[in-house]
Structure 1
């Protein structure tokens, strides 16, 4: 018998019952959490994986123009393809500059389920 796959909840925590590591029962929520981790982690922030992350927070001080939007789109696509390429396939990355914010949305395919999803919860920088 094959043991079920366990997905850790982010942020990391302890379950209220049993004192074990908290798990994420919803696979879609688990994948969204992983995407957010990749997008919001700065390169060099993780000691054992210095190349991990997209480093979007670094874009806070970049000018809001088409060049910054194109760079952000590239950072997001490359980071997600590198770190989550076995779980998702990035279909499209859209970056919009609105007033003082840069909004990022990601359309992706969940490989295990063959379902398309959109992360458009406004990752506001």
Structure 2
């Protein structure tokens, strides 16, 4: 198998495990950390940044600062060997939390970035961003 596992896991047209390139793989890992709430993973209960929970915390500068610290620490904890964070900002909107992230992919030392907006349940997610942003959506739960 060449490449990296596609996410979500799927079978390609030849019946093999679907693969992707390194920038897309790393982007998918970042989305996975953002989307997962702590406690969702039985064997890793501390995994995830719990971004959906942040939209219910009240929209103020103190929460945005705390969210930025939380997201940064979770990315370092779970992806510290895969990425090196350059900039990270968290912006709280009326119905959304937006994370703007620029980073270096450690393996290739290439710069990349992404902007991910997590809406309140019932609204559409809008991931946007830099050169390695994969098209993805954050499902409503």
Indicate the TM-score class for this superposition, using the shorter chain for normalisation: 0.7 to 0.9
- Structure 2 CA distance for aligned equivalents of residues 32 and 124 of structure 1: 16
* Correspondence 1:21 to 2:35: no
* Correspondence 1:86 to 2:81: yes
Q: Which structure has the highest helix share of the two?
A: 1
**Aligned with residue 10 of structure 1, among 1, 7, 11:** 7
* Correspondence 1:39 to 2:34: yes
Q: Post-superposition, which runs of at least 4 consecutive aligned residues in structure 1 deviate over 3 A?
A: none
- Corresponding residue of 2:46: 51
- Structure 2 CA distance for aligned equivalents of residues 28 and 6 of structure 1: 11
Mind listing any 5+ residue stretches in structure 2 that lack a counterpart? 120-141
Mind listing any 5+ residue stretches in structure 1 that lack a counterpart? none
- Structure 1 CA distance for aligned equivalents of residues 3 and 110 of structure 2: 20
- How many residues align structurally? 119
Using structure 1 for the length normalisation, give the TM-score.
0.87
RMSD: 1.5
Q: Residue by residue, what CA displacement relative to the aligned partner does 1:38-65 show, whole Å, maximum 9, x if unpaired?
A: 1110111011111111111111211010
- Structure 2 CA distance for aligned equivalents of residues 118 and 6 of structure 1: 21
The offset of 1:124, in angstroms, is 2.2
The 1:100/1:9 distance shift into structure 2, 3 A limit, reads same
Using structure 2 for the length normalisation, give the TM-score.
0.78
